Amino acid sequence: MCHILRKTLYLQRMSVRQHIVFLTGAGISADSGLCTFRDPDGLWRQVDPLEFCTASALHENPERVLAFYNRRRRELLSVRPNEAHRIVAELELIHDVTVITQNVDDLHERAGSTKVIHLHGELTKVTSSRNRLNPDCIKDFPLERPILTGDLAADGSQLRPAILFFDEYPTFVSEYAARLCRDADVFVVVGTSLSVGVAPDLVLLPRKDVPRYLIDPDDFSGRIPDGYIHLREKAVEGMRLFRKEAEEEFPSFARVMDGRAE
């Protein structure tokens, strides 16, 4: 594709509000001090998720599961969004930005992102342990306040964190997320190992002729479809590079399209 045509297409593309979709994971919040799950110091290396992050564990030992999530809720009070979260939010000034996140923290919202879809629930919310999808029972719950046994949801059942447990199925939100990925004009994956849930499928959905980026310090060979530009950096540095790419017509993507990829 000749440079002039590409320049024209780009100016056409950038002069129009683009739909930029971010798919994020624990890595984007690692730079804020929250640990990831599967890295050497990850949470699931410290505790067995099946003992703390399942509906059956909540049923068998509610005190232990609630104590685990109360700790994670308190921890959220002590951290703040980092520059990577802020760059994502700032892009909303120019473009239509959607964030699809596996994270249960509220750092994207605190950074100013207005369209955030949580695939795995939110630590700032509680729900019913009888029917977690009952809209009358899903409520914001101040992070300062621990969820205690005996705290009841609107349906009279024990209150629980509004988190998707490992032995529970993702809801309609996954189909909605899939549609957004298909419609993306630019797609960016930040800080996820793509090892659970719908995330590994979502990265297959964006059109092949749109800029697709992966930001992660890890080696992803064989784990991401061809055509993704891998900015092998931590979230903050990676998002700075992505912002520069966006400002300069996605040169790395252009090279791929021209078959000149390194």
Closest contact distance (angstroms) between CB of 218 and ligand APR is 3
Residue in 39, 107, 38 with CA at minimum distance from that of residue 78:
107
Binding of ligand APR at residue 241 (CB under 6 A)?
A: no
- Binds ligand APR (CB under 6 A): choice among 32, 98, 127, 193: 193
**Binders of ligand APR in range 99-118 (CB under 6 A):** 102
Q: Which residues contact 207 (CB under 8 A, 6 or more apart)?
A: 182, 184
The residue (of 191 and 206) whose beta carbon lies closer to ligand APR is 191
Q: SS in 3 state form for 23-71?
A: EECHHHHHCCCCCCCCCCCCHHHHCCHHHHCCHHHHHHCHHHHHHHHHH
Binding of ligand APR at residue 25 (CB under 6 A)?
A: yes
Number of neighbours of residue 17 by Cβ within 10 angstroms? 11
Q: Answer positive or negative: Cα dihedral of 199, 203, 19, 182.
A: negative
Binding of ligand APR at residue 42 (CB under 6 A)?
A: yes
**Active site annotation includes 118:** no
The residue (of 147 and 164) whose beta carbon lies closer to ligand APR is 164
Q: CA 252 to CA 262: how far, in whole Å? A: 9
Query: Angle 83-90/235-247 helices, nearest 10 degrees?
Result: 30
The residue (of 112 and 217) whose beta carbon lies closer to ligand APR is 217
The residue (of 128 and 193) whose beta carbon lies closer to ligand APR is 193
- Binds ligand APR (CB under 6 A): choice among 30, 99, 147, 205: 30
Closest contact distance (angstroms) between CB of 62 and ligand APR is 20
| Active site (catalytic) residues | 120
